[in-house]
Amino acid sequence: MDLPRRVEIVPWGNPKVTTTGSLRQQSSSYLSGGNGGFATASGQYTTFEVLLDSGTWTLTVIYMRGTNGGQTAITLGGAAVGNVEHYNNNSLLNQVIEFSGISVASPGWYDLTITCTGKNASSTNYFCQYHFLALRRTGA
């Protein structure tokens, strides 16, 4: 049997666990029509459990930046994947960042965790807003 080679996560859906406050926001201006994963303090996090085949993977993150944005760190199975800056001095929707070369040694379930790590000194809050997350396998 073959495991999925693509995993798509709607962040305003139902995470495995979240310690953030308000989790959802709707707008037709957002890719996927929504936002998920707000944080209001450093250390808050949201986790999605994903089933992955072994190999090399790329994570695509579609997210929002604004004057109230925080900073997040993304981990997969406890290993660092990358960081996302959500602050900007004006609102930017549907931003795309890709993290490639993520190594998965063996097939199985992994926690994809987004943790608020702080904020830019100019930011008014810690909001860490995501429109969509997608994992795709790029190699063996």
| Residues at the contact surface with another protein, assessed by CB under 8 A | 1-6, 8, 28-33, 58, 60, 62, 94, 96, 98, 107, 132, 134, 136-137
Eight-state DSSP code of residue 20: -
- Report whether 51 contacts 109 (CB < 8 A): yes
- Report whether 54 contacts 138 (CB < 8 A): no
Instruction: Give 40 or 60: the residue with its C-beta nearer to another protein.
Output: 60
Q: How many CA atoms lie within 13 A of 38 on its CB side?
A: 13
- Report whether 110 contacts 9 (CB < 8 A): no
Instruction: Give 41 or 97: the residue with its C-beta nearer to another protein.
Output: 97
Instruction: Give 8 or 49: the residue with its C-beta nearer to another protein.
Output: 8
Instruction: Give 40 or 94: the residue with its C-beta nearer to another protein.
Output: 94
Q: How many CB atoms lie within 10 A of CB 19?
A: 13
CB of 1 to another protein, least distance (A): 4
CB of 135 to another protein, least distance (A): 9
CA atoms of 78 and 85, how far apart (whole Å) = 20
- Report whether 86 contacts 72 (CB < 8 A): yes
- Three-state DSSP class for 32? helix
Instruction: Give 65 or 119: the residue with its C-beta nearer to another protein.
Output: 65
CB of 42 to another protein, least distance (A): 28
CB of 8 to another protein, least distance (A): 6
CB of 93 to another protein, least distance (A): 9
